[in-house]
């Protein structure tokens, strides 16, 4: 089975002590992960090291950064490089979240650079894509998301693309309480897998974990994750409440 992943995206929430108790509450509630089940916590930069320490030695549990810079180093005050993340042993980075695209003007081209830097350092990008409401209403979401993959990922070769985790997050469903139906999620995920298959072949496409994001919570996770092409979720609001996120984790396919 492909990796099934419950990824928490804390965004800009929680103080250090609040974050660490959240993490510990979740860890103490979840003892039994299947061999293909993984939990990832994308925490704010200042908490990466304490969070790494908190999960150290726990199988299939990892800490992710929520972003990285698209250049290797230099005069970019306030930014964090992929080398820095590698130096503290970070294995996953969320790339191209819609909030980064919207508020920080991140382009598909910039995300291609970030992807390359991460892969060169053995860090797995959790690459986010997804359409705004206007595009969904115009019925052109497939082409829109395809273009995001095309411009940021499709320069990769087969071995590289296999290492990417893709998170489909329709913008109209993020933080709105308005989840895509499981059928809508499956439809887009199947389409994305098909697009990847037509470029890289079926075997490669079948290896890539495709996460759904957008108002996933305890009550809807298992229904969404049960879809054949949905391999887990990237979860914002519901990842900030231990009981909710534990239920999300329990919704992963086993």
Active site (catalytic) residues: 97, 169
Per the CB < 8 A criterion, the answer to whether 61 and 38 are in contact is yes
Rounded CA separation 170/172 (Å): 5
Q: Judged by CB, which is closer to ligand PGA: 19, or 213?
A: 213
**Which one of 19, 44, 236, 251 is in contact with ligand PGA (CB under 6 A)?**
236
String marking each residue 153-192 x if it binds ligand PGA according to CB under 6 A: ----------------x----xx-----------------
Token pair belonging to 197: 């298959």
Closest distance between ligand PGA and the C-beta of residue 207, in Å? 23
Closest distance between ligand PGA and the C-beta of residue 235, in Å? 5
Give the total of residues touching ligand PGA (CB under 6 A): 13
| Region from 82-90, 142-150, 187-195, 209-217 binding ligand PGA, contact rule CB under 6 A | 209-217
Rounded CA separation 254/89 (Å): 28
Q: If residue 137 lies in a helix (H) or strand (E), which one and from where to where?
A: helix 133-138
Nearby residues of 195 by Cβ (< 8 Å), 6 or more positions away: 146, 149
**Which one of 150, 197, 199, 237 is in contact with ligand PGA (CB under 6 A)?**
237
Rounded CA separation 134/77 (Å): 35
Tokens 């914002």, residue located: 236
Rounded CA separation 138/7 (Å): 30
Closest distance between ligand PGA and the C-beta of residue 189, in Å? 16
Q: Judged by CB, which is closer to ligand PGA: 180, or 200?
A: 180
Residues at the contact surface with ligand PGA, assessed by CB under 6 A: 9, 169, 174-175, 213-216, 234-238
């Amino acid at each position: 089975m492909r990796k099934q992943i419950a990824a928490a995206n804390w965004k800009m929430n929680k103080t250090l002590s609040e974050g660490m108790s959240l993490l510990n509450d979740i860890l103490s509630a979840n003892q039994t992960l299947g061999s293909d089940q993984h939990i990832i916590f994308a925490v704010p930069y200042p908490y990466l090291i304490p969070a790494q320490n908190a999960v150290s030695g726990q199988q299939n549990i990892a800490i992710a950064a929520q972003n990285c810079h698209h250049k290797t180093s230099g005069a970019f005050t306030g930014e964090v490089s992929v080398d820095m993340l590698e130096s503290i042993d970070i294995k996953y980075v969320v790339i191209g979240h819609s909030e980064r695209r919207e508020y920080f003007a991140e382009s598909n081209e910039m995300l291609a650079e970030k992807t390359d830097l991460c892969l060169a350092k053995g860090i797995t990008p959790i690459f986010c894509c997804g359409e705004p409401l206007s595009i969904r209403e115009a019925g052109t979401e497939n082409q829109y998301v395809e273009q995001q993959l095309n411009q940021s990922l499709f320069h990769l070769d087969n071995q590289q693309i296999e290492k990417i985790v893709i998170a489909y997050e329709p913008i109209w469903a993020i933080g709105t309480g308005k989840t895509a139906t499981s059928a809508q999620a499956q439809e887009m995920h199947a389409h994305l897998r098909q697009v990847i298959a037509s470029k890289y072949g079926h075997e490669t496409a079948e290896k890539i974990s495709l996460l759904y994001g957008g108002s996933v919570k305890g009550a809807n996770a298992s229904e969404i994750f049960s879809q054949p092409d949905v391999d887990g979720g990237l979860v914002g609001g519901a990842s900030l409440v231990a009981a909710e996120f534990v239920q999300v984790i329990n919704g992963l396919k086993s």
